[in-house]
Amino acid sequence: MDVLKVESLTKTFGATKAVDNLSLTLKSGEVYALIGPNGSGKTTLVKTIAGLLRPNHGHIAVDGVDVVADPARAKAALGYIPDEPSAWTGMTGEEFLHFVGALWGVPAALRKERIAALLAEFHLAGIEKGYFEDYSRGNKQKFTIMAGLLHHPKLLLVDEPIVGLDPESAEIAKHEFRRFANEGGAVLIVTHTLGVAQEIADVIGVLKGGRLVASAPFAALKKKAKLGARASLGDVYKVLA
Amino acid sequence: MYGFRRWFRNQKIAKSITILLFLGVLFAVGFGIYSFFRWEFGLIAHDAYLRVALPLFFYEGLFLVVFLLIFVSSFITAMFALFRGGMGNVLPMASPRYPIVFWQAYRTTLFSGIWPLAVITIPAFLGSAAVFPVSFWGGALFLISAVCLAGLAASLAIIFFFIAACGLYIVAHYTSRRIFSFGKAVGVGVVAIALGLWLIARRVGLGDVTAIFAPVSSAWSTSRIDILFERFGAFPSHLATLTLFGAQQGAFGVAALTTATLVLMFALGALGVRIAAWGFLPLWQIFQEGRYEAKAVSTATAIRRHGKEGPISFPRFFRSPLGALFEKEGIVMFRGMKSALWFFFLFVLWMVQVALEFFIRGNLVKYGTSIGSALAIVESLQLATAIYFVSAFILRFVFPAFSGEGRTAWILGTAPLRMQNVFWAKFLFYASIFLALGLVFCGLNFFIIQTAVAQGLAFGAFTLLIIVFLVAFGLGLGAIFPNFESDDPEVLSTSLPGLGFIFGSLFYGGAGSYLFYRFLAGTAPGAGMALAGFDALTVLLTIIIFALSLRALGTFEFVKDY
């Protein structure tokens, strides 16, 4: 089952084509990592799928629902974790999670239960009554990851997942994303941390100038780049990006 | 100048219109004040008994109010620019050149303090000078005095905060209590300011204004001015009054002396600020604790501040998406210290204005004068003031409501909501608050003026209708023309749509108040029909704004201007 289907997507800002006629598909249980140089259109692509930006051409369907035609239903099936974690001034971490849960229609009792479980998993129990703006960057990032997972979406969009996380938390986050996919979800990760992509992605896409120049499992990418079996994703990136 | 040229590099037509609109707003407000003073002084000039003392009373009152306004607004501006501003992030890197941050904040505070001069003091001076002429040099001396007065108020605000913070630090140190924080220092400052304002009101003696002008004996042909000097002489604004008064009376020596005194006081104020600058870095470091501290300490701070359960939670509306949005608006508005302080400041100003009406009525009753003859003017002025204050609130809080979501767009923009629902949640929230304020105002107005019930109801209905329109207008403009380049309400309100709102609300408020005056005065034929037409137009405009906003939100993108 295709959880995400992007067809001939183009997104422009004035004369600049940030995403150019791009198509990709994500199936249930799959982790897809998107890599590419700065300005290659990775974040724009994720933001367009998430509904923050409107496509100029093409179609995006999340869980079979068109993001432009029926945004509310499409967004109900996705979770988004931004590269810059932020919330409103004066909101505590706990309020932030309840707020996000309420927006996605998670019932209060279930929300409470899930929040407690996530807080324990990310070793954040006990700090949820602090103000969001007072948290360290890493903790803010963890709260946004929890917010993305809270409503059990079908598709998780993650922009730079482990920036600011300590090694232990980075491991937890990677484990969570993998587990989320194993339980039937699909994850689209945008990252510059090639180690993460190599470690947890089933399929890796290379984006360059808004175009998807390669999209395949790591082993196939190495073949495409005409590199040996011991080549790293960094080597592949140098050839393809 | 370089900054301006850089800003003006692109979108020149839109920015030229912005500048023209901005100047237009300044001119419109300034012209209104000028006309009012010219008219008022024109009337006074014909009264031999009052022609000296009454203008002096106006000067004293006006300059004192301007001085206090600049002091309080500088207090808020300076505190947040110094300790919670974006420049603060530069500070750890800028050391040992950290004073740059301090002086930048001081400069911002000075400039924002001097703004009221352009909009209030200078037009008032020109209005007065049109009736009571002033020589070129007299005018120049007055301008110097006014600038120094504004600078002194801004400097005193900074010194005052540092004194309040130091006082709190000493108490915290000697009592070993953990009470020293930015919020508490601001709190101590706010309480002290409130107390100071109350003492000033008592000294000025607003309770019995007419006593100031009462003749002591029948031999007196002009009103006394010594009683004014006695009541206002303790305030620095008195010196600016004397400069203007001296310049108008041909006493150039007095004007020069008072100007020199104000220049000296401003210099001393700047010296005080220089001394306060030495304490800036230690204070900044302490005030940042809680922002950069480790996670465990952060929560401990929150719990210490608010008790076992953490901060007081707003009533839990988190059961539905709309309720959650509603509650979020409450948190943003009242938990953010800067927003809360501005809200409180504007509210107090409004209530002070209402209280002035109360005092005036008390004076009229005391001396056996009926308000009846002036009812139409008083109620229309009250309405105009209410519209002005509600517009100021809306410009500060409602208009930036969508543009302010830039940083948090990833939550609202990806949630399974239609942006139209976000609009309705914001509208309901702000309309509820301002309608509640409007009801309080109408109740007070009814109590003070004691009109007939039907008239009171008409006034109330008209005010509430206007409030609904203004909230829709401000929110709608912000939604149709979002600006994600800044989330600072002060920057957003001087953008083209922000100035459009100021212009629109000024024009709309002026027209509404005038039509309401004609209706109450009952002299012009068809005034009732005109007012009904205005009401119908208001409803129609509100519907159009809703329609345009909802349509714009259908294709809303959280994106900066590329």
Q: How confident is the model at residue B193 (pLDDT cuts 50, 70, 90)?
A: confident
Q: Which residue has the higher pLDDT, B85 or B402?
A: B402
Each residue's pLDDT tens digit, B276-298? 888 888 787 777 664 444 344 45
- Residue A82 and residue B410: Cβ atoms within 8 Å? yes
**Distance, in angstroms, between A81 CA and closest chain B CA?**
8
Nearest to residue B398, comparing CAs of B270, B549, B241, B237? B549
* Residue B334 confidence class, pLDDT cut points 50, 70, 90: confident
Pairing of strands A203-208, A211-216: antiparallel
The mean of the pLDDT values for chain B is 79
- For the residues A37-45, what does the mean pLDDT come to? 91
Chain B environment of A89 (Cβ under 8 Å): 332, 335-336
pLDDT of residue B296: 44
> Is the CB of residue B110 less than 8 Å from the CB of residue B21?
no
Interface of A with B in 85-104 (CB under 8 A): 86-92, 94-95, 98-104
pLDDT at B86 over 70: no
Nearest to B318 among A73, A86, A99 (CB): A99
Are the C-beta atoms of A212 and A221 separated by less than 8 Å?
A: no
Residues of chain B in contact with residue A135, where contact means CB-CB under 8 angstroms, are 295, 298
Q: What's the pLDDT at B179? A: 63
State what percent of residues in chain B have pLDDT above 90: 17
Radius of gyration for the alpha carbons in chain B, expressed in angstroms and rounded: 25
CB contact under 8 Å between B335 and A82, yes or no, is no
Spatial separation of the C-alpha atoms in residues B201 and B209, rounded to whole Å = 12
Predicted local distance difference test score (pLDDT) of residue B510: 85
Q: What are the two backbone dihedrals, phi and then psi, of residue B92, each rounded to the nearest 5 degrees? A: -60, -30
| Optimal mutation site among B305, B312, B327, B410, interface A, most CBs of chain A within 10 A | B410
pLDDT at B367 over 70: no
Partner-chain contact B295 A51, CB within 8 Å: no
CB neighbour list of residue B54: distance below 8 Å, 6 or more residues apart? B44, B47, B213, B223
pLDDT of residue B291: 45
Q: Rounded to the nearest 5°, which phi and psi values hold at B130? A: -70, -25
pLDDT tens-digit series, residues B10-64: 666 766 776 777 777 778 778 888 888 888 788 777 776 677 777 888 888 888 8
The reply to whether omega before B96 is within 30° of 0 (cis) is yes
Q: Which residues pair with A10 in a beta bridge?
A: A57
Report, as an integer, the average pLDDT of B367-384.
68
| Chain CA centroid to CA B551, Å | 33
Q: What is the pTM of this model?
A: 0.75
Residue B176 structure tokens: 């070993």
Q: Using 50, 70 and 90 to split pLDDT, how confident is the model at B301?
A: low
Check: CB of residue B132 under 8 Å from CB of residue B59: no
Please tell me which residue, B265 or B174, carries the higher pLDDT value. Answer: B265
Whether residue B436 has pLDDT greater than 60: yes
Residue contact A108–B319, C-beta within 8 A: yes
Lowest mean pLDDT among B79-93, B144-158, B257-271: B79-93
CB–CB of B414 and A129 under 8 A?
A: no
Residue pair A67/A49 in contact by the 8 Å Cβ criterion: yes
- The pLDDT tens digits for B443-494 are 887 777 777 788 788 888 888 999 999 999 999 999 998 888 777 777 777 7
Measured over the CA atoms of residue B254, residue B257, residue B261 and residue B266, the dihedral's sign is positive
Q: Is B294 near chain A, with CB under 8 Å?
A: yes
- Residues B520 and B375: beta-carbon distance below 8 Å: yes
Contacting residues for B465 by C-beta, under 8 A, at least 6 apart: B535, B538, B539
Residue range B222-246: mean pLDDT, rounded: 83
What whole-number distance in Å separates Cα of residue A142 and Cα of residue B538?
48
Of B43 and B160, the one with more pLDDT? B160
Query: Which residues of chain A have a CB within 8 Å of the CB of B327?
Result: 99
Residues 145-174 of A with CB under 8 A from B: 147
Q: Closest Cα partner for B84 from A135, A134, A156, A62?
A: A134
**Residue B23: other Cβ atoms inside 10 A:** 11
Give the angle B295-B301-B303 at the CA atoms, nearest 5°: 105
Q: What would the DSSP string read from start to end of A137-165?
A: HHHHHHHHHHHHHTT--SEEEEESTTTT-
Q: Does B325 touch chain A (CB under 8 A)?
A: yes
Using pLDDT thresholds of 50, 70 and 90, give the confidence band for residue A170. confident
Q: Are B350 and B421 in contact (CB under 8 A)?
A: no
The closest alpha carbon to A128, from A98, A103, A106, A101, belongs to A98
Indicate the burial class of B282 (C-beta count within 10 angstroms; 0-12, 13-18, 19 or more): exposed
Residue B91 corresponds to which tokens in the numbers above? 């500070």
Residue B561 has pLDDT above 60, yes or no: no
